[in-house]
Structure 1
């Protein structure tokens, strides 16, 4: 039962982030595709796909709303991949 609670808490934090940040992300990046999927038993993750077929994945499990924002922001900031 505790694992179910942890999953529910993660979903709550992720939904809070998406409700707050998604409209801003789409307004600032209207041509960038943002896909959101929910599935039973799926762990919360964010994927970023870059030029030349590069991809980066980060787990969002157990993160707070603010930590999720920091993780997503770190994926979109320019770096030397």
Structure 2
């Protein structure tokens, strides 16, 4: 993972992950977070990165931007590489109007 990959846009105010601690559906999301969270936090120390675990929920990621704009994407059925691509796109792009 290159260091520039997780340089978040200034418009991003928060990145929030929801996943289940035990379900196979959330395994790729858990693995991604274990691997990528330290790098994301290192390069974006002022941006909150929240991880919420709840039994039996579908893995999802939310990006909250300025002016109350939010974007949610499901991570269900994705492998680590696809999750990384989706999170990178959400964290580095400006919100849609």
TM-score (norm 1): 0.84
- Partners of 2:48 and 2:95 in 1: how far apart? 22
Question: Which residue does the alignment assign to 2:68?
Answer: 53
Question: How far apart in 2 are the matches of 1:71 and 1:12?
Answer: 16
Matching residue within 10, 22, 28 for 1:13: 28
Q: Which aligned segments of 4 or more residues in structure 1 are displaced greater than 3 angstroms?
A: none
Question: Does 1:74 pair with 2:89?
Answer: yes
Cα deviation, 1:21-79, whole Å, max 9, x if unaligned, reads: 00000000001001101111211100000011100000000110001101101101223
Larger RCO, structures 1/2 (Cα 8 Å, 6+ apart): 2
Larger Rg: 1
> Does residue 41 of structure 1 match 2:56?
yes
Aligned alpha-carbon RMSD (Å): 1.5
Structure number with the higher helix fraction is 1
Note the residue ranges of structure 2 that are not aligned, 5 or more in a row. Answer: 1-21
Match of 1:22 in 2: 37
